[in-house]
Structure 1
């Protein structure tokens, strides 16, 4: 019985490590997708980014992008480019994970000078139909 428990524990730990690595990569890629756009393709880019989200966060992101970001990007010719220099797993199980993501974002309005912003985001992900999707995106 003891050997069975140790085997179960080992498998669970390995599954959590795999989930942690997968979810951190998805958090990195999705953060870049959520925060990067050009005025010419903002509709397409942010609609594609929505496919990386789930639950209430998807609803609030959709509302924000439709009502504020997309019209503003087109009207003011805003370009945003996000990069993720570092990210780390906070916790992970086979269907739920939290990652800490460090973000650098450069925003340019029209022909103005670019502005840089560095921030940290706590990204919560849930595995839905075999895919890691962001369910919360909270600045730290």
Structure 2
């Protein structure tokens, strides 16, 4: 007799001893099968929930990192490299915000930067996720901006807070809304 058969025979003999006298063995097997099914279903549900939480955490991390990279690119430009900087900034956006930003660039930022010889640089000093779904993450960024106008040698430095909505577009996280807070 093989080892596996001996183990199976031992388990069956123990199960037979556990069965009350006169109770059918089939009932116990059905109960055991139902219990096994319920336990495996519960384990599947717990694992699925853990997988969903891990995926959402990865989403939060990716979108936050993208916001920390894209928002400074969106808010930084130099008057001598304006066309390249603003084209790069526009590439950071998506949706209706892209069109709104394009209008702002054409009507306000480009003329002002050219006429006033404005150079501005933004950097993120702190960041946090406010809310997240699979395809949209809202973040709060604390920014430092340094702006030089005309021939001034000393830049103006200021801080601001912005609420940024990042949307997944073709696998990338792009800015779909930006609001000062």
TM-score range, shorter chain: over 0.9
Give the match for residue 109 of structure 1.
Answer: 149
Q: Give the number of the structure with larger relative contact order, counting CA–CA contacts within 8 Å between residues 6 or more apart.
A: 1
Q: TM-score, normalised by structure 2?
A: 0.74
Task: Pick the aligned partner of 1:11 from 18, 35, 51.
Answer: 51
Contact 1:15/1:93, CA 8 A, preserved across alignment: no
Tell me the secondary structure at the aligned position of residue 118 of structure 1: strand
- Structure 1 or 2: larger helix share? 2
TM-score by length of 1: 0.95
Cα distance in structure 2, aligned partners of 1:3 and 1:128: 34
- Within the alignment, does 1:59 sit opposite 2:86 as a pair? no
- The match for 2:81 among 41, 46, 52 is 41
Residue 135 of structure 1: aligned partner: 176
Root-mean-square deviation (Å): 1.0
Task: Show the 5 A alignment for 1:83-122.
Answer: 83-112=123-152, 113-122=154-163
| Residue-by-residue CA offset, 1:12-66 (whole Å, 9 max, x unaligned) | 1101111111111111111100111110111111111111111111111000011
Query: 1:93 Cα shift?
Result: 2.5
Instruction: Find the structure with the greater CA-based Rg.
Output: 2
Moved over 4 A (4+): none
Determine which structure has the larger strand proportion and give its number. 1
Q: For 1:125, which of 166, 172, 178 is the aligned residue?
A: 166
Unaligned runs of 5+ residues in structure 1 are: none
